[in-house]
Amino acid sequence: MSEYDAIVVGSGPNGLVAALTMAEAGRRVLLLEGAETFGGGLRSAELTLPGFTHDVCATVLPLSLASPALRDRLPDLAVEFAYPEVSAAHPLDDGPAVLIHRDPAETAAALGQDGRAWQATVGATARAGFPLIDTLLSPLGPPKAPVAALRYGALAALPATVLARSLFRTAPARAAFAGMAAHAMLDLRHPITGGYGLLLAAMAHSVGWPVVRGGSQVMADLMVERLRKLGAETVSGHRVTSLRELPPAGTVLLDLTPRQFLAVADLPPGYARRLSRFRQGPGVFKVDWALDGPVPWRDPRISAAATVHLGGTLAEIAASETATANGRIAANPYVLVVQPCVADPTRAPEGRQTLWAYCHVPNGSDHDMTSHIEAQIERFAPGFRDRVLARHVMSPAAMESHNPNYVGGDIGGGSAEITQFFGRPVHALKPWRTPLDGVYLCSSSTPPGAGVHGMGGHHAATLALRDRRHRR
């Protein structure tokens, strides 16, 4: 008899959900994590100065609230979310910032003549609710909201540039939509990028864009604590270099990318070739700051938003993402900024703030983007640099060193382009299942892809439990 029923390698959101799914089903679980702390993309640390808590990767977690793998677990885990007054902001050079409020009607009213189009598209996506989100997060399963999914899909299949120009007449509305769509880390002329913009904007209305009080690490720690209460064994600081070194177990779930799987397993040549063709997405270059006070935004209303999209107009943001997709450094990059203390002041000493920002760069780039990022912030917040007490820089190489799943700085677990939207990491009816008996992939390199939703872990673990029952 095996010592464990299931071994989970990697403790990112997907690995944690996979382990919880197995443990809640009564299985004896061993969770192995290579780093000294659990959490993967949910880890937090004092990166700059004592008393300043920074999230190393994920901070704003709408997908956690929306995901069927997490939304019912979070109340039991007692995760406390903090909501900013404004979900997101998009500053412009020649006018007031566009503010995305929790209330879609309030957002639509601020958009003027584009308000009706916003309500008819983004608002309709939000009103479709969890059935649509469940369908989108289970892209290979039967739809729970087929009519809503068809309506959404008709728009979502379009490039963000085409969709923004088709839906909206004004530059502010188009720019705000581009800021949402650029989260896809794709050329915005690419099909399905419109869908990313629609879904993210809709979640700002349906569930909000909150942060975890005390840092994202708190959520990971609570999930690990729950695992231990269920009898699971959790071990950090143990990097798996070969599947052969694992103790006997009926099921192995790997929160690993295809590159890592190839390195630790002896795979059939045909499957190995298919995995080797998996394409990584762009990398990110990230800077964290300790500030002596709030960011001095030219439009002071931005101080109420935890998330800020910098890059100007639709054309500017599209040009930035096109440059990155073509392997070039964007002179004026799209910059994603998060000011967590707007919602959670516990992350810094009284009167001080933490801030982080990243831009997209070609995978594995060694170009220092610090000045580019700070210039974009200064563009909309003159005097920002005067507020900086300390900074911490993470290049793509540093991101990968922190988390080996971030190959070349790719925090998305692989390109989100349409050919890999369904075929992650290979085209198959059940891509979580591998040719190795009882071995499953559950990382963001499997459907439905990137985000703190845990659905890769959920799909892989439920499939493993079903396969095990069938074997018996």
At 416-431, the pLDDT tens digits run 999 898 789 999 999 9
First to last CA, the chain: 14
Q: Domain check: are 367 and 229 in the same one?
A: no
Question: The CATH number of the domain where 155 resides is what?
Answer: 3.90.660
Segments of the chain with pLDDT less than 70:
1-2, 472
**pLDDT reported for residue 470:** 72
Q: Which domain holds residue 457?
A: 4-42+215-278+412-471
**319 in a structural domain:** yes
Which residue in 191, 238, 211 sits closest to 88, CA to CA? Answer: 211
**428 in a structural domain:** yes
pLDDT tens-digit readout, 255-311: 999 999 999 999 999 999 999 999 999 999 999 999 999 999 999 999 999 999 999
Q: Domain check: are 236 and 96 in the same one?
A: no
- CA atoms of 92 and 115, how far apart (whole Å): 18
Q: Domain check: are 112 and 156 in the same one?
A: yes
Q: Domain check: are 200 and 314 in the same one?
A: yes
Strands 249-254 and 439-441: parallel
Q: Domain check: are 326 and 467 in the same one?
A: no
**pLDDT reported for residue 307:** 98
Q: Domain check: are 258 and 358 in the same one?
A: no
- CA atoms of 257 and 94, how far apart (whole Å): 43
**55 in a structural domain:** no
Q: Domain check: are 169 and 299 in the same one?
A: yes
Question: The CATH number of the domain where 448 resides is what?
Answer: 3.50.50.60
Q: Domain check: are 14 and 154 in the same one?
A: no
How many domains does the chain contain in total? 2
**pLDDT reported for residue 1:** 42
Q: Domain check: are 114 and 32 in the same one?
A: no
**pLDDT reported for residue 2:** 63
- CA atoms of 80 and 221, how far apart (whole Å): 13
Q: Domain check: are 235 and 118 in the same one?
A: no
**446 in a structural domain:** yes
**49 in a structural domain:** no
- CA atoms of 126 and 124, how far apart (whole Å): 5
pTM above 0.85, yes or no: yes
**178 in a structural domain:** yes
Q: Domain check: are 103 and 160 in the same one?
A: yes
Q: Domain check: are 291 and 155 in the same one?
A: yes
**59 in a structural domain:** no
Which residue in 83, 86, 160 sits closest to 121, CA to CA? Answer: 160
- CA atoms of 285 and 201, how far apart (whole Å): 24
**64 in a structural domain:** no
